[in-house]
Amino acid sequence: MEHAVEQPGQLQARFVALREALSEEIVGQPALVDRLLVALLADGHLLVEGAPGLAKTSAIRALAARLDAEFARLQFTPDLLPADLTGTEIWRPQDGRFEFQAGPIFHPLLLADEINRAPAKVQSALLEAMGERQVTVGGRTYPLPDPFLVMATQNPIEQEGTFPLPEAQLDRFLMHVRVGYPDAGAEARILQLARERALAQLDAQPEAVERMPLAALFAARRAVLALHVAPPVERYLVELVLASRDAARYDTALAARIAWGASPRGSIALERCARAVAWLAGRDFVTPDDVRAVAPDVLRHRILPSYEATAEGWDGERLVQALLDRVPLP
């Protein structure tokens, strides 16, 4: 068994090395790089949102290039059909039967690029598959591979030609990460990198990268699940989620600003992501700060502001911050 060979420290070193390699390619976006690894370790789908040209696609491609798993990219467009994603049954006259032709969703790593540029039907097909880990076509159900990770990108909703994702289905994303603009230093380094890449392309010298075997990923996931979460930390985590459903115990004005709070899927995600963060930091226990570190990315898309609060400029992000400010630390 391959996973028994690797010592815990070595396994963790692999992921730290992966993070460093990705940080060299995706400059000045440490949070994005970190979240890619957290999603991988916590076995969850990632939604990355940001303005055009902020390396969302590049970051996911860079990760895929370093994993020993098949990768597919699907560009979401207004004319995309659910079958373009899932696949279709094709009639084989010579055999007198239908044959299933699997679509791109049957890849272990799927980059769903610009997910909010496809109509609701396609989004639903994707999000259903993400939740159930299976696809039904023509009355037959096909299991999706393991690992199965969807890394989706989207531009901010305000952009033209976008279809907002169905709110209830956003819950299926483990994290919703927002990417901002890099600082001046990082911008200069991006220019340098772009020049180096353009030159390498002219010389036709593609960089050879080491791919992480899936056995290492599964062993790391096992280690993450084995970390210790002390009861007070678990209570804190649960309290954060419960407070999103009933904030009146802390602040009645805040409660009125929340239309709905996070589901149990949110608590599970919060726990798994906090574990992954602790493991990546080389610890064998989870702290309240690990929970706080991932709470915005885990909860922002699961907490919906009320109609009035939205009009006053509140969004999931601000609501999570307000909850973090109010729920007392253990």
Quick one: which of 11, 21, 190, 281 contacts ligand ATP (CB under 6 A)?
Answer: 190
C-beta neighbour count of 34 within 10 angstroms: 20
Q: Is 193 in the site for ligand ATP (CB under 6 A)?
A: yes
Residues composing the chain = 330
Nearer to Mg ion, 57 or 287 (CB): 57
Q: Which does 55 bind (CB under 5 to 8 A by kind): ligand ATP, Mg ion, none?
A: ligand ATP
Nearer to ligand ATP, 166 or 185 (CB): 185
Q: What share of the chain is helix, strand, coil (3-state, %, to 5)?
A: 55, 15, 30
HEC string of 34-96 equals HHHHHHHHHCCEEEEECCCCCCHHHHHHHHHHCECCCEEEEECCCCCCHHHHHEEEEEECCCC
Quick one: which of 33, 36, 57, 243 contacts ligand ATP (CB under 6 A)?
Answer: 57
Q: What is the DSSP string of 219-253?
A: HHHHHHHHSB--HHHHHHHHHHHHHHH-GGGT-HH
Closest CB 41 distance from ligand ATP, rounded Å: 22
Where does this chain bind Mg ion (CB under 5 A)? 57
Q: Is 54 in the site for ligand ATP (CB under 6 A)?
A: yes
Closest CB 132 distance from Mg ion, rounded Å: 27
Q: Is 53 in the site for ligand ATP (CB under 6 A)?
A: yes
Q: What CA–CA distance (Å, rounded) separates 15 from 32?
A: 15
Quick one: which of 18, 22, 26, 243 contacts ligand ATP (CB under 6 A)?
Answer: 26
- Residues lying near ligand ATP in the complex (CB under 6 A) are found at 26-29, 50, 52-58, 153, 155, 182, 186, 190, 193-194
